[in-house]
Amino acid sequence: MKLEGVDVKAVSKTFGGKAGAFERLLGRTPRGLRAVRDVSFSISRGEVLGLVGESGCGKSTLARVIGGLLEPTGGDIAFRGVKPRLQMVFQDPFSSLNGRWRVDDIIAEPIRTHRLRPKGEVAGRVAELLEQVGLSPADGVKYPQAFSGGQRQRISIARALAGEPDFLILDEPTSALDVSVQAQILNLLRDLQSRLGLTSLFITHNLSVVRLMADRVGVMYLGELVELASADDIFTNPKHPYTRLLIDAAPDLDPIDRTLHPIPGELPDPSRPPSGCSFRTRCPYAQPLCAETPPPLRWEAAREVRCHFDLTPKSLSVPA
């Protein structure tokens, strides 16, 4: 049996909001922070689903819920086929590796824990994994401190692959790296992806990175999924105003057209989201309706978009 897909069904995660002893005495219920609000999507087998958004949008919380590190407050995660072997790769290659362990022990740990190989074959498998991520088998005797940030991220990836995952969650795997090293890791991940056909969830704040890595892209804002479509559709024909503004806001490398496209305003306090549509306080196209009614998720062919209006690309061009 193999993993056929991952279904994220109406997942919510609220932090706090439960009355402690003191609040109960005072008869208060704290508000709680709804970090993830009613998010649903599916990942098919072999697919890379990207999630983008700014800090505080809930993407990392959602990754931890899907990865089983946090309990959802509502909804559930269903795995089609089998319960998968799941591995995660995190942003910070400095804190995610145990500095007291040698690299070959770090990589062997998932193999030993899940008894994936007979004892005599573990060392050979570790050497194979080190080569697969572009390190030398001789590096196994060193400690993580002996390596640069990019090399440590290679070790994290080798450790994740050692668990022979059928589902891989990557949470900002290249955000702490310099651009030339980031490019190496992205190419390594793309290569592994095409060779191993891994089902994965790729979380990042960087739009170019998600466009490079993902088959489909979900855009999150203030805990909600506001648009989900194929990477091509998201970037060439975005339908949600936030998606469009976010794509335009990142400065590209064109030194001739130097126009900047800032998104007005700032992210609202996630514990006090605006009424109606969460993006309406910053949306240049907001109408009275947007403050009254939260927009439902609408389906349009293979795309989902959470906006009341059907805005054509032209009307969405950013006012100068």
Partner 1 sequence: MMEQPLLSVRHLSIGLSRQGTQLPVLNDVSFDVAPGEVLGVVGESGAGKSVAGAAIIDLLVPPLRRTAGEIALRGDRLDLMSPRQMHRVRGKRVGFIFQDPMTSLNPVLSIGKQLKDTMRTHLRLGSSELHGRALDWVTRVGLPNPERILKAAPHELSGGQRQRIVIALALCAEPEIVIADEPTTALDVSVQAQMLDLMRLLHKETGTAMVLITHDLGVVAKMADRVAVFYAGRLIEIASTRALFQSPRHPYTAGLIGATPAPDGQGGMQVVAIPGAMPGVDALPPGCAFHPRCPRAQADCRTVVPPLVVLGTGEAACLHPLPERTAA
Residues of this chain, 160-199, that bind partner 1 according to CB under 8 A = 178-184, 186-187
245 in contact with partner 1 (CB under 8 A): yes
Looking at the Cβ atoms of 162 and 316, the one nearer to partner 1 is 316
Name which position in 100, 119, 258, 314 contacts partner 1 (CB under 8 A).
258
Output the six-digit token pair for 18: 């439960």
Contact segment (CB under 8 A) with partner 1 among 11-19, 27-35, 161-169, 201-209 equals 201-209
142 in contact with partner 1 (CB under 8 A): no
Q: How do beta strands 48-52 and 74-80 pair?
A: unpaired
Give the interface size with partner 1 as a residue count (CB under 8 A).
42
Instruction: Provide the mask over 52-91, with x wherever binding to partner 1 is found by CB under 8 A and - wherever it is not.
Output: --xx------------------------------------
Nearest to 134 by CA among 161, 96, 163: 161
CA distances from 201 to 24, 64, 89, 184, 266 (A): 40, 11, 10, 19, 27
26 in contact with partner 1 (CB under 8 A): no
Q: How many helices (H) and strands (E) does the chain have?
A: 10, 11
DSSP letter assigned to residue 212: H
Q: Tokens 């489909």 label which residue?
A: 216
Q: How far apart are CB 40 and partner 1 at their closest, in Å?
A: 25
Calpha distance 220→119 (Å, rounded): 44
Name which position in 169, 246, 290, 316 contacts partner 1 (CB under 8 A).
246
Contact segment (CB under 8 A) with partner 1 among 99-107, 137-145, 241-249, 307-315 equals 241-249
Q: How do beta strands 86-89 and 5-15 pair?
A: unpaired
19 in contact with partner 1 (CB under 8 A): no
Q: How do beta strands 216-221 and 48-52 pair?
A: parallel
Q: How far apart are CB 155 and partner 1 at their closest, in Å?
A: 14
Residues of this chain, 263-302, that bind partner 1 according to CB under 8 A = 263-264, 266-267, 282
Looking at the Cβ atoms of 55 and 136, the one nearer to partner 1 is 55
208 in contact with partner 1 (CB under 8 A): yes
212 in contact with partner 1 (CB under 8 A): yes
Other CB atoms within 10 Å distance of the CB of residue 90 = 21
Looking at the Cβ atoms of 71 and 266, the one nearer to partner 1 is 266
Element (H, E) at 268: none
Calpha distance 241→309 (Å, rounded): 10
Calpha distance 284→242 (Å, rounded): 10
Task: Assign 300 to helix, strand or coil.
Answer: strand
The residues of the shown chain that bind partner 1, judged by CB under 8 A, are 54-55, 148, 150-151, 178-184, 186-187, 205-209, 211-212, 232, 236, 245-246, 249-256, 258, 260-264, 266-267, 282
